[in-house]
Structure 1
Amino acid sequence: MSTADAYDRLPDAVTDVFGPEATAAYAYDLLTVDVPATGWTAALETARSALGCTYFDWLSAVDEPGTGFRVCAHVAALGEGTVRRLLVRTTVPHEAATLPSAVGVYAGAAWHERETHEMFGIGFEDHPHLVPLLLPEGFEGHPLRKDFVLAARVAKAWPGAKEPGESEHGGPKRRTMLPPGVPDPNEWGPLKGQLPPMETGVLRAVRGQP
């Protein structure tokens, strides 16, 4: 059986291709295969050898509270005029977030596992160089975990929380165009008489004039 034929049998034949505990489904034109953590590297090897997915695209994770970390690897089989994409996915618990490294199957996974390790705290056993890739030296915590506290927002409010002109330092507020049916705040409301007049065209629309 060719690799294309094996791919085309999915998702119906997922247990034949990936083992009895695997499941598969199509979503958004992407075939996703879920496997247990114990079969992670075996599933990647199957994707590479049995399905011809020799192109490694990316590897990352998603923190799902109450479930664990969903680790995903996106690979593809590149043919003449066709691209067969596959997302291999597994789940590891928060309290034991460890997987075997995929570097032995896809060498390109090395940097992706380093990033996933520092952003989520997921360990990858037998990785040849599992050191920080993006964060500065001495950084504490894993920023993409849902329980990570953005200390900078505790110390200082998000600068985009206020619209221009709405800070406590004063200054006129920014005027906005009014849609039909909304009264001019200079003629009605707490700011009556305190704002410059609205543009003529807008006022006509507000007042129902032609």
Structure 2
Amino acid sequence: MSRTPEETAAEIGEWATAAEAYQLLTVDVPAEHWIEALTAARDRLGLSYFDWLSAVDELADGYAVCAHLAAPGAGTVRHLLLRTRIPRDKAVLPTAVEVYAGAGWHERETNEMFGIDFAGHPHLVTLLLPDGFEGHPLRKDFVLAARVAKAWPGAKEPGESEGDGPARRKMQPPG
């Protein structure tokens, strides 16, 4: 049975709003209802498959944290994108591990890449970046090393250094 976006939002909670675009239903919920919304999606809508969780840095608007949920069925798969927004200065959400065990690794990655804390997470440690890495590389304010202008440490051309190394062979035009 197919539900309208409004009916789906009502199943999630009275505080939820929904819209459909590009054949994907997106339900927006306030951050304080994040766990309640995930639980309702699992229990009321039958979305038992946790696909992924990540975030989008929207600068002044904070972060949009998204969880993609699905319900495999007889020949069809129903999808839902559950989304909430949190401010940059208080980037904290409760962990979804108690609702969907598979959320653990996704929350670890999102914590590492965006700096979003998942309160109550059982093992929120680094997953991808090397020990001692500073910063959160998927934040829009993260300065990429490739964009930092640094002086080149060596000579620009062979033979330009102060050593007695060989000079670059002069090229002759063909013919």
TM-score, normalised to structure 1, is 0.70
RMSD: 1.9
Task: Report if aligned partners of 2:9, 2:27 keep a CA contact under 8 Å in 1.
Answer: no
Q: Give the match for residue 81 of structure 2.
A: 87
Q: Give the match for residue 138 of structure 1.
A: 132
Name which one, 1 or 2, has greater alpha-carbon Rg: 1
Q: Give the match for residue 165 of structure 2.
A: none
Q: Could you tell me which of 43, 46, 50 is aligned with 1:52?
A: 46
Counterpart CA distance in 2 for 1:55 and 1:13 is 21
Q: Is residue 17 from structure 1 mapped to residue 11 from structure 2 by the alignment? A: yes
Give the SS at the match of 1:139.
coil
Q: Give the match for residue 102 of structure 1.
A: 96
TM-score, normalised to structure 2, is 0.83
Q: Give the match for residue 37 of structure 2.
A: 43
Provide Cα deviations, 1:131-186, integer angstroms capped at 9, x if missing partner.
000000000100000101113431459xxxxxxxxxx86xxxxxxxxxxxxxxxxx
C-alpha displacement of 1:64: 0.3
Select the structure with the greater relative contact order (CA < 8 A; seq sep ≥ 6). Answer: 2
Task: Report if aligned partners of 2:56, 2:64 keep a CA contact under 8 Å in 1.
Answer: yes
Q: Give the match for residue 120 of structure 1.
A: 114
Counterpart CA distance in 1 for 2:25 and 2:6 is 11
Give the SS at the match of 1:146.
coil
C-alpha displacement of 1:15: 4.4
Counterpart CA distance in 1 for 2:138 and 2:92 is 16
The aligned runs of 1:56-71 (5 Å cut-off) are 56-71=50-65
Counterpart CA distance in 2 for 1:65 and 1:108 is 28
Identity of aligned pairs, percent? 66
Counterpart CA distance in 1 for 2:51 and 2:119 is 21
Matched positions, count: 156
C-alpha displacement of 1:49: 0.7
Counterpart CA distance in 2 for 1:54 and 1:16 is 19
AA aligned to 1:101 is: T
| Misfit runs of 4+, over 4 Å | none
Counterpart CA distance in 1 for 2:149 and 2:95 is 38
Distance 1:15 1:108, change over 3 A: closer
